[in-house]
Amino acid sequence: MDRSKTFFNWSSGKDAAMALHFLQEEKNLAVELLLTTINVKYDRVTMHGLHRSILEEQARAIGIPLEVMELDESPSMEDYHHLMTEKLMALKARGYTHTAFGDIFLEDLKNYRETMLAPMGIKAIFPLWKKDSKRLLLDFIGKGFKAIVICCNAALLPKSFCGRLIDYDFLSDLPKNVDPCGENGEFHTFCFDGPIFKKPVHFSKGKIIYRTYPAPQSEEGSIPQEYGFWYCDLALES
């Protein structure tokens, strides 16, 4: 059976890992590439803060080729759209007809992705769409996946959550206003073992640091000073 040539918009976290697992089990699509955006100033995965070297080791452990799209630290939407359009056109020319995402329930984001991809003739696939996020996390743990929190929104989660493993205790400790999968950006993870891996990624935890970013202007016109995130640095073990 011919399977559609597919690239995965890869975040390095648990939702992407679970979505890839679903695709591999269904066997309708041939996922031949992982695509990740990198903050070129820090050489780290955008928002997640994972260093490129660990991302590359993760892709090798999974066994799927990785390509990165380098972005400035704070690219404008126009610049992002231009760079992404160029990349999509190149992938289309290489025979890719489908792409997959780990999104669960953010309608605006899903609509944006589909609108951007439609002119390219590339179909967007969302294996986790509208699934219950608590059940997803329980399924993730139950299937033997392993992940660690590497970034969390300081306004919603304390420093103590950064660097924690995703397990049943983590789920029970989450505040009620935090989505179990962090779908609203409450936290981000790095997945290092599980059914999609040929071997685990071995790493050590480093310092936990706090970084602030300029807050966008609100609809009322007031401009908050900043918003902050905790980051847990990881390093590959030799």
pLDDT tens per residue across span 219-228:
454 445 678 9
The predicted pLDDT at position 186 comes to 96
Amino acid at 105: F
Separation CA 214–CA 220 (nearest Å) = 17
Q: Is the pLDDT of residue 211 over 80?
A: yes
Tokens 């439609």 locate to 118
Architecture of the domain delimited by 4-125: 3-Layer(aba) Sandwich (3.40)
Amino acid at 162: C
Which tens digit of pLDDT belongs to each residue from 153-200?
999 999 999 999 999 999 999 999 999 999 999 999 999 999 999 999
Name the phi and psi angles at 31, rounded to 5: -80, 110
Q: Which of 138, 151, 228 is nearest to 182 (CA)?
A: 151
Mean pLDDT of 26-47: 95
Q: Is the pLDDT of residue 61 over 50?
A: yes
Which tens digit of pLDDT belongs to each residue from 83-106?
999 999 999 999 999 999 999 999
Q: Record the pTM.
A: 0.93
Name the phi and psi angles at 153, rounded to 5: -70, 115
Q: Is the pLDDT of residue 48 over 60?
A: yes
Parallel, antiparallel or unpaired: strands 66-71 and 29-39: parallel
Percent of the chain with pLDDT over 90: 87
Which tens digit of pLDDT belongs to each residue from 197-210?
999 999 999 999 99
Domain boundaries, the chain: 4-125, 133-236
